[in-house]
Amino acid sequence: MNMKCLVIVVCAAVIGSASNAQDMLTGTISLRNALNATIEAHPSLRSFPLRNEALQGTRELADLRPAFTIGAEVENALGTGDIRDFTGAEATLRLSNVVEMGGKRAARVGVVSRRIEALDAEQRVVELDLLVEVVRRFIDVATTQEQVELQSQYTAIAEQTINIIQPLVTAGQAPQLELDRANSALLRARLAEQAATARLESSSIRLANMWANNFPRFDAVDADFLSVGQVGSIESILSELSENPDIEYFAAEARLLEAQLQLAQTRQQGDISWSAGIQHLKEFDDTGLAFGVTIPLSNKARASGAMRTARANLQEVEARRLTALNAIEGEIRSLHQSLRQAITEVNSLQQQVIPVLQNVQQQTQSAYAVGNYSYVELISAQQEFLDAQLSLISSASNAHKIRAEIERLSGIPLSGQ
């Protein structure tokens, strides 16, 4: 899992990838294969292009100027006496429009543009959550792969133990009870191997489900599972917090609220309505031009409420951003300590514990074959060796998952380790 790519870079690569990426997930797959297929096919991402298209249409509507209107007016008609019909009617035909003042049209467009930016930020958050979930499930598959391999080795050791005991029992150098216990141990080893295989199949289905496929076609994942890397300094991790899409979403939300505040401010200045037309004067049997202008006297009070709401919302977003930053930093510091411990455990088990127990297990088996050790000492050495290897797998899996969670919180590249 030697992946050193930013989530955004991964997403960009996916957009340009072949549409049949998930169909190629056969054989042994890499983390990049799984990430690409998920971004391409996960159902939760299908709504974002549609929502973006809807906002593009909304922005086109916001950019429209007020429409011209045509009006007709008839006076002095259908009354009484000399004006009981249309004999003395006077008609006026007008063309009217509204002149928006204070930059309202640009402010409307700005609000919709900020909504599109906020949608993009929301999509990045969803994408990152999906990618981190892919990493977690990928780690689960890699973990169960290691467990299946280990249980297979332990089954082979159990079979080898029976092959050692059988001649001793036949020769009368070991009791039948020891052979019975060895056969029971073999059955338990095979059951453990079957259980590990079932977990592998289950975790593979969960991984394939990330790209909307409930029938995985891949055989294995390519993972340098026992390589957990270094811890890294906490300062370098915290320095990347601004890259966290969750924090970027707060920034996008703040820009949207600033645009809404600007739109509210434009409402302080009223719009001017005008009309121009032709009027027929029945008394003079002539035609003249008619003009009209409507200017609101004061509109500031009507906009003050919207401005107050926008400012309050803007301050509330900043408060939520600071709260999130504080929570994220605290969680990262806690996870950093856990990662340090997990890596220490992996290194200690790999370099110190397991080599010793492997040697002990081999020597005990050889000594038992010549009658120097008892069966109890043999199975004890085998169990200690198995437990140490299971602990190594557990610690390595824990280290990878903690690292993935730190990278999710900090916004640093997904290393995929």
Q: What is the pLDDT of residues 34-78, one digit of tens each?
A: 999 999 889 888 889 999 999 999 999 988 888 889 988 877 666
Do 174 and 375 touch, CB atoms closer than 8 A?
A: yes
Lowest mean pLDDT: which of 13-17, 129-133, 222-226, 331-335? 13-17
Distance CA 373, CA 361 (A): 12
The model's confidence at residue 392, banded by pLDDT at 50, 70 and 90, is: very high
pLDDT of residue 300: 67
DSSP string over 336-393: HHHHHHHHHHHHHIIIIIHHHHHHHHHHHHHHHHTTSS-HHHHHHHHHHHHHHHHHHH
pLDDT of residue 8: 37
pLDDT of residue 208: 93
Mean pLDDT for the stretch of residues 270-287: 79
Lowest mean pLDDT: which of 206-220, 256-270, 348-362, 376-390? 256-270
pLDDT of residue 270: 80
pLDDT above 70: residue 2:
no
Using only C-alpha atoms, the chain has a radius of gyration, in whole angstroms, of 37
Distance CA 298, CA 263 (A): 17
Mean pLDDT for the stretch of residues 245-266: 85
Half-sphere exposure of 408 (CA within 13 A, CB side): 20
pLDDT above 50: residue 345:
yes
pLDDT above 70: residue 22:
no
- Which of the two residues, 309 and 15, has the higher pLDDT score? 309
- Average pLDDT over all residues of the chain: 85
Mean pLDDT for the stretch of residues 114-141: 92
Element (H, E) at 109: helix 104-170
pLDDT of residue 6: 35
The model's confidence at residue 191, banded by pLDDT at 50, 70 and 90, is: very high
Mean pLDDT for the stretch of residues 173-198: 92
Mean pLDDT for the stretch of residues 250-266: 85
Half-sphere exposure of 416 (CA within 13 A, CB side): 22
pLDDT of residue 237: 81
CATH 1.20.1600.10 fits 7-410, yes or no: yes
pLDDT of residue 7: 37
Going from the C-alpha of 195 to that of each of 145, 148, 397, the distances in angstroms are 12, 9, 18
Residue 225 per-residue DSSP state: T
What pLDDT, in 10s, does the model give residues 69-91?
A: 998 887 766 666 666 666 667 77
Which two tokens mark 50?
Answer: 């549609």
pLDDT above 70: residue 10:
no
pLDDT above 80: residue 129:
yes
Count other C-beta atoms under 10 Å from residue 76's C-beta: 15
| Percent of the chain whose pLDDT exceeds 90 | 40
| Percent of the chain whose pLDDT exceeds 70 | 88
The answer to whether the pTM exceeds 0.95 is no
pLDDT above 80: residue 18:
no
pLDDT of residue 15: 43
- Which of the two residues, 284 and 392, has the higher pLDDT score? 392
What pLDDT, in 10s, does the model give residues 211-241?
A: 988 899 999 999 889 998 888 788 888 887 8
pLDDT of residue 25: 83
